[in-house]
Amino acid sequence: MGNNTISEELYSKAVELIPGGVNSPVRAFRSVGLHPRFIKSGSGCRVMDEDGNSFVDYVCSWGPLILGHAHPEVLEALALTMKDGTSFGAPTRREIEMAELIAELVPSIEMVRLVSSGTEATMSAIRLARGYTGRDKIVKFSGCYHGHSDGLLAKAGSGAATFSIPDSLGAPKSLVEQTIVLPYNDIESMGRCFEEFGSEIAAVIVEPVAGNMGVVCPVPGFLRGLRDICSKSGALLIFDEVISGFRVGLGGAQELYKVLPDLTCLGKIIGGGLPVGAFGGPRRIMELLAPVGGVYQAGTLSGNPLAVSAGLTTLKILKRDNPYQSLENKSARLADGLGKILSAKGLKFSINRVGSLLSVFFGVDKVNNYEDAGKADRSVFNSFFSNMLERGVYLAPSAFEAWFVSAAHLGADIEFTLECAEKSI
C-alpha cells in the first residue's frame, strides 16, 4: 500500500486531531495492521473511498443500512422533513407513528422511548430495571456488547477484544462490581449464579443473537432458559436487539426464537443511518419513566425529526417489502460459497449465520461463546481482510465482527465477493 494515497494523507492529519484518527475505535484498521480508508460516498451496497476505489460493503455502517447506502426513499424523506426545521425539543407527530410501528412489529413492546444511540438505550433500560426491581446487580454475558456505559463494559466483545482491553480504565470499581459476567450459551452457570445472587439481580441483559464477538447463535434452550430463570427470580430479562432488531426478521430475535423479554433495546436499523436508539416494553414497566414515574431519563435530541424520519421510512419499507426471505437466500448463498471455498483449500473454519448476519471464524470448528471465538486465527483473518480489500470487498476490520448483508446486495455482488474470496484466501 502506497504512502501517498489521499486516505493516507487524511489519516496522518486525523491522528493529530482525533485520538487514533477515528471517532469510534472499531473504525481503525489497527488490528489488521493497516490504516483506515476514508470514505467519500456510498450507494446501494457499495462505498467509494477518497481515492476513488469502490468496494462491495459488508459493514453497512455496522448494521444500520439494511436497505443499503443512500436509499432514494430515505433521502427523499430526509429532504422533505428538513424543510420544516431540524429540531424543536417538543413532541412531533412522526414520533407517535414511529412508536406505533415499533409496538406493532416487536412482539414484547407496548410502549417505547426513543433515544439517540444504542448505548443510551441499554444504559436507560438497565436504570429502568433497577428502578423497577429495587435491586442493583446485573448479569451480562462474556463477548456481548451493550454500548460503552460504565457498568456494561465488562468483557464487552469485539471492539475491546480487538484491542485487548478486557475491561475499560475509568469504569469505577464499585459500579463494575455490580455486573456479573457469565459465559454465553451456558444456562447451567446462569442457574448457579441465580442460586447465589438471585434476590439481588435486577436484570439479565443479552444479545439474543450475539453479534459482537463475531456472530454467535443462541443454542436451543438458552433464551428460554434465561426467560424461565428471570421469571422465577423477579429479575427483568432485557434483549439487546440493537443489531438483531429488524435484522433477523421484522419482529427481531424475540419473534424468531419465540421468547419474549421484559425490555427490548433497539438501535442501528431503526435510525436508517441516523442516530437513533430505543427501549421499550410493557406499560407497567415503561410508565416508571419520568415524567410519569421516578426513573429519570432524557435527551435534547431524542426523537429528533430527521433521525425519526430516516428511521420511520426505513421501517415502513421493511414492512412493505419484507426483504427477509431474499436476505436469507443471498446470505445463505454467501455463507455456503465461502464454506465451499474454505473446505476446498482444506482449511478449518466455522461459519455462524442467522439470516443476513454472518461471521467466518478461521482455524476453529465451532464457536458457541467468547472463549471459542478467542481461539480463531487472527493472522489468517488479517491477510484475508487485506486481500479482500485490495480486490474491492470491504469487510469489518476485525476477526470478531459480523458481515452485514443488505437488501441492496444483488446476486452479482455476492458472486463477485465469492470470486474475491477464492483468490484472497
Q: Which of 11, 132, 145, 404 binds ligand PLP (CB under 6 A)?
A: 145
257 is catalytic: no
- C-alpha grid cell, residue 300: 435534547
- CB of 119 vs ligand PLP, minimal distance in Å: 3
Q: Which ranges constitute the DSSP H helices of 198-297?
A: 222-233, 252-256, 283-286
* 117 sits near ligand PLP (criterion: CB under 6 A): yes
Please report, for residues 188, 259, 339, the alpha-carbon distance to residue 266 in angstroms, rounded to integers and kept in the order given.
Answer: 28, 16, 31
**Annotated catalytic residue within 145, 184, 257, 324:** 145
* 242 sits near ligand PLP (criterion: CB under 6 A): yes
Residue with cell 484472497: 424
11 is catalytic: no
- CB of 398 vs ligand PLP, minimal distance in Å: 13
Q: In whole angstroms, give the CA distance from residue 168 to residue 147.
A: 12
Largest CA distance in the chain: 62
Q: Which of 147, 245, 311, 323 binds ligand PLP (CB under 6 A)?
A: 147
> Exposed (0-12), middle (13-18) or buried (19+): which is 385, by Cβ within 10 Å?
buried
145 is catalytic: yes
Please report, for residues 50, 55, 79, 404, the alpha-carbon distance to residue 40 in angstroms, rounded to integers and kept in the order given.
Answer: 5, 12, 20, 20
The piece of 33-41, 42-50, 114-122, 357-365 that touches ligand PLP (CB under 6 A) is 114-122
Reduce the DSSP state of residue 228 to 3 states and report it: helix
* 124 sits near ligand PLP (criterion: CB under 6 A): no
Reduce the DSSP state of residue 139 to 3 states and report it: strand
The piece of 135-143, 238-246, 348-356, 386-394 that touches ligand PLP (CB under 6 A) is 238-246
Q: Which of 182, 243, 376, 420 binds ligand PLP (CB under 6 A)?
A: 243
Binding to ligand PLP (CB under 6 A) within 202-231 occurs at: 207, 211-212
Q: Which is nearer to ligand PLP, 122 or 331 (CB)?
A: 122
DSSP-derived secondary structure letter, 392: T
* 261 sits near ligand PLP (criterion: CB under 6 A): no
Chain residues in the site for ligand PLP (CB under 6 A) = 117-119, 122, 145-147, 207, 211-212, 240, 242-243, 267, 277
For the annotated catalytic residues, the residue numbers are 145, 240, 268
